Amino acid sequence: MPLTADNCPDPQLMAILRKELRRQRFKLEMIASENFVSEAVLRIGASVFTNKYSEGYPGNRYYGGCENADELESLCQARVRKIFGCEHVNVQPHCGSSANMAAFFSVLQPGDAILGMSLAHGGHLTHGAPVSFSGRLFKTEFYGVREDTELIDYDELAAKAEAGRPKMIIAGGSAYPRVIDFDKFREVADRAKAFLMVDMAHFAGLVAAGLFPSPIPKADIVTTTTHKTLRGPRGGLILCRKSLAKLIDDQIFPGVQGGPLMHVVAAKAAALGEALEPEFIDYQRQVVKNAQRLAVNLIDAGFRLVSGGTDTHLILVDLRSKNLTGACAEKALDQAGITANKNAVPFDRQNYAITSGLRLGTAALTTRGFKEEDMDKVAEFIVEALRHHGEDGRLNKIRQRVEEFTQAFPLYPNLEF
């Protein structure tokens, strides 16, 4: 049942929800880590399971009344195993960061060495950045990309693994647009006698659809978020071999979390059900096609893309030759009705609050039904907005055109606030 002015007793809150729905409907959502869940996932996520405590795991809970929670969590687990072909999964992580924390704690002790991808080259905060728990608790080393190809420097990875003897090597990141060679990572990890963890948060949907190499057979532990390309509710998952199952489960609960969010587990199960449908593969194919079409358009307009393009849903635009900062680009796009984020490019000289790059993703727009020719139009809006950054009048005009354009792609048509 939709929330309306009649059945929601909190008009102040309703006004905020209504504004957010409008924002999502009338702007172009290009943040690479975002997506739009289906209306079914949205509704299931708002179910009565929000009321239930179910600390523990199916068949072994600390509270009574968990028979339905057991059935729900088992179903969610079975769907993950079916999609990714893993032996074990923990579906309880509240987010990608807590999934990573539990994964680390399962096999590492504070003070152990980890080797992750540098944040400045496309890695993630939780892979050892000093401001994250991971950087505070572990001895960190980083590998990055080569300056000439902007692809992962596997020689550097091997050398650092050899020299630093990390106990865990982490692959995956948030702003790396290319496929990752998991065989190579496995080889390096084996030689260093390190655990290999793959954080597939960004490309999990592509892995589910068979469009990105699967890390599951290669890694000891795979973590992911559920809300990026996988198109589920906000949350995380940890996939692993049977031999690590207990260590992982004990670190999610009671290690780093309390009771699971069973309404979110229900929404995860719903999204995973959708990921098992053949249309999901078509969707993911379109996501990549759209990103590649956007890339071609931007290159034709004179922009340089990190690594020259993309194999995935995301592209990273290097603005250095345009005398434009990431912060300035983000602001211009926002004024033009396009939501994206500034992002460091490899070997960036600007600080992280300014940056020289712009990260763009196509997962959300593709969910709205955007095809390649629509990406041509989106590219036009982007290029025009970047050329006219700082010109409020011009940017406002673009925003009006964007608003009009989005109306051909209805978002949650049955939803009203």
Name the residues that contact ligand PLP, by CB under 6 A: 33, 95-97, 100, 124, 126, 172-174, 199, 201-202, 225, 236
Q: For this structure, is 228 an active site residue?
A: yes
Q: Which residue is nearest to ligand PLP (CB)?
A: 96
Q: Smallest distance from the beta carbon of 278 to ligand PLP, in angstroms?
A: 27
| Rounded alpha-carbon distances, angstroms, from residue 295 to 120, 201, 289, 361 | 21, 22, 10, 11
Quick one: tokens of 116? 């992750």
Exposure of 384 by Cβ count < 10 A (0-12 exposed, 13-18 middle, 19+ buried)? middle
Q: What angle do CA 100, 106, 107 make, to 5 degrees?
A: 105
What are the two backbone dihedrals, phi and then psi, of residue 143, each rounded to the nearest 5 degrees? Answer: -110, 165
Q: For this structure, is 310 an active site residue?
A: no
Q: For this structure, is 154 an active site residue?
A: no
Nearer Cβ to ligand PLP (77/225): 225
Which residue is catalytic, options 29, 141, 153, 199?
Answer: 199
Place of tokens 């993703």: 361
CB 246 within 8 Å of CB 109: no
Which residue is catalytic, options 55, 250, 334, 380?
Answer: 55
Which residue is catalytic, options 160, 186, 228, 399?
Answer: 228
Q: What is the residue type of 34?
A: E
Nearer Cβ to ligand PLP (337/357): 357
Q: What angle do CA 284, 399, 298 make, to 5 degrees?
A: 50
CB 201 within 8 Å of CB 34: no
Nearer Cβ to ligand PLP (100/341): 100
Q: What is the DSSP string of 125-184?
A: GGGT-TTSHHHHHSEEEEE-B-TTT-SB-HHHHHHHHHHH--SEEEE--SS--S---HHH
Q: For this structure, is 225 an active site residue?
A: yes
Which residue is catalytic, options 18, 34, 53, 304?
Answer: 53
Q: Smallest distance from the beta carbon of 126 to ligand PLP, in angstroms?
A: 5
Nearer Cβ to ligand PLP (65/130): 130
CB 172 within 8 Å of CB 200: yes
Q: What is the residue type of 77?
A: Q
Q: Smallest distance from the beta carbon of 373 to ligand PLP, in angstroms?
A: 29
Q: Smallest distance from the beta carbon of 93 to ligand PLP, in angstroms?
A: 8
Nearer Cβ to ligand PLP (77/126): 126
- Element (DSSP H or E) covering residue 289: helix 278-300
Q: Smallest distance from the beta carbon of 252 to ligand PLP, in angstroms?
A: 14
Quick one: tokens of 209? 């659809």
Nearer Cβ to ligand PLP (133/409): 133
Q: For this structure, is 73 an active site residue?
A: no
Which residue is catalytic, options 225, 229, 355, 362?
Answer: 225
Q: Tell me how crowded residue 6 is: count the other CB atoms within 10 A of its CB.
A: 6
Q: For this structure, is 234 an active site residue?
A: yes
Question: What CA–CA distance (Å, rounded) separates 66 from 56?
Answer: 10
Q: Smallest distance from the beta carbon of 172 to ligand PLP, in angstroms?
A: 5
Catalogue the active-site residues.
Answer: 53, 55, 199, 225, 228, 234
